[in-house]
Amino acid sequence: MTSSYAVVFKTYSWDGFVERQARRCQAAAGSGDFYISIDETNGTVGPVPFDRVVRTNNADLIALGFADRYEKRALLWWNPDYVHYQFQELYPKYDYYVFVEYDAAIQGDLDSIVDRVAALNADFVALPLDTSSDKYFWTLPHRQVYSLEEIKAALMCISIYSPRALKMLAERRRSMAADSQTRYWPIGEVYLATEIGRAGYNAHSLEEFGDTSRYLWFPPILEDDIPKSTASAFLHPILDKKRFIQSVINNNMYFRSFLYWKSSMYQKLARFPKRDYYPYLPAAARLRVKVSLQEKRKRFWLHATLSR
C-alpha cells in the first residue's frame, strides 16, 4: 500500500506560467494530496484555482520562531525550508512530504517513488552537491558554522522528508535562532543536508529514483522544450520565454560574454529575436561586474579570517 504523502508545490508569485507548472505537478502527484504553498509577503496574489492552498508570508514564519536572518537576497530565497516546517505543523498526518519548487517538475510515477522511499525507510531525499571547497561557492562561508568535514549540500528544488526529519530540522532552526553566537546563518541547501548528516538520519540521493541529468541549477529548460517521457525523471529549472531569457543573461558568469557574439550566452539566445533580449543586456552586464568584484572581496576576507 502506498504511504500517505503530501505534494507541496511552492511558489512566490502567480501567473499563467506558474499555474501551468502547478498543473504539471498535480498530474504527477498520483495518490498524494496536492497542495499549493504561496508566499504573499509582498501582497495577496488573489484567487488561486486549486482546492488546497496554503498562503504564507515572512511575518507568519518569524512568528513560528524562525529567525529573520539571511545572508543574501531575501528570507525565503535563503531559507526556503521554513515553509516545509510550517506545512508539516499544519498537516502532521502524512508519512512523507514532497516539496516541489515552481520551476521544477517530476516525471513518472510518484506513487512508486514514494513507495521506494518508504521501503528504504529514508528520512531525506535530495540531490547531493559537491561541496569540495574549490567547487562549491558556499563551502567557505559555512565554515563559520560547521566544520569542513561536516559540510554537505543538496539541491532542494525537489526534496522528500519523513515527519521526524522535518521536526528535527525545525527544532534545530529554532535553537539556532535563539543562539546569539550563530555567526553566519546557513543557507537552506547546506543546512538541510548538513543537519541530516549530523543527526545520522537516513539520506538518499534523488538520482536513485529517476534521471537527474537535466536537474541542475543551470542551464534552464524552456517550457516548450520539456521532454515527453513516462520514465521517472526530475527537471530544473523550467522557465517560460521571458524567464528563460532573463536567466540566461543574469546567470552568465563572465562579463566578456556580453562583448563576444559567439559566446555561449548568445548561442542560447539565438533562437529568439534580438528585440526580445536586447533590453536586458546593459543592466545585466553592469550587475555582473559589480557582483564579481563584491564576491572577490568577500571571499578574500573570509580566507583571511578563517586562516587566522
Amino acid at 140: L
Question: What's the rounded mean pLDDT across residues 6-22?
Answer: 98
Strand, helix or coil at 151?
A: coil
Q: Is 126 helix (H, G, I), strand (E, B) or coil?
A: strand
Confidence band of 262 (pLDDT split at 50, 70, 90): confident
Span of 54-58, 124-128, 152-156, 180-184 with lowest mean pLDDT: 180-184
Find the distance separating the first CA and the last CA of the chain, reported in whole Å. Answer: 56
> What's the pLDDT tens digit per position in 174-215?
999 998 888 899 999 999 999 999 999 999 999 999 999 999
> Does the pLDDT of residue 255 top 80, yes or no?
no
Q: Give yes or no: residues 29 and 164 share one domain.
A: yes
Same domain, residue pair 126 and 269:
no
Same domain, 196 and 299: no
Q: Rounded CA gap, 107 and 8, in Å?
A: 15
Query: Out of 70-84, 140-154, 292-306, which region has the weakest mean confidence (pLDDT)?
Result: 292-306
Domain co-membership, 91 together with 230? yes
Residue 78 has pLDDT above 80, yes or no: yes
The three-state secondary structure class of 308 is coil
Mean pLDDT of 95-102: 98
Structural domain boundaries enclosing 289: 243-306
What pLDDT is stored for residue 258 in this prediction? 80
| pLDDT for residue 252 | 78
Tell whether 201 and 286 lie within a shared domain. Answer: no
One domain, residues 117 and 35: yes
Does residue 129 carry a pLDDT above 70?
A: yes
d(CA 214, CA 119): 26
Distance separating alpha carbons of residues 164 and 244, to the nearest angstrom: 37
pLDDT exceeds 70 at position 167: yes
Q: Is 1 a residue whose pLDDT tops 60?
A: no
Read off the CATH number of the domain in which 128 is found. Answer: 3.90.550.10
User: Residue 295: which pLDDT band, with cuts at 50, 70 and 90?
Assistant: low
Per-residue pLDDT at 294 exceeds 70: no
- Out of 235, 268, 286, pick the residue that ends a domain: 235
Which pTM value belongs to this model? 0.91
Q: What is the pLDDT of residues 106-117, one digit of tens each?
A: 999 999 999 999
**Mean per-residue pLDDT for 75-99?**
98
Percent of the chain with pLDDT over 90: 80
| One domain for residues 208 and 269 | no
Residues 103 and 150 in one domain: yes
pLDDT at 168: 98
How many domains does the chain fold into? Answer: 2
Mean of pLDDT over the chain: 93
From 213, 235, 257, the end of a domain falls on 235
Q: What would the mean pLDDT of 28-57 be, rounded to a whole number?
A: 97
Same domain, 273 and 180: no
pLDDT higher than 80, residue 302: no
Domain end point (choices 179, 208, 235): 235
Both 107 and 140 in one domain: the answer is: yes
Q: For residue 135, is pLDDT > 90?
A: no
Q: Which of the four pLDDT bands, split at 50, 70 and 90, describes residue 304?
A: low
165 and 102 co-located in one domain: yes
155 plus 251 within the same structural domain = no
CB 76 within 8 A of CB 97: no
Predicted local distance difference test score (pLDDT) of residue 286: 83
pLDDT value of position 293: 67
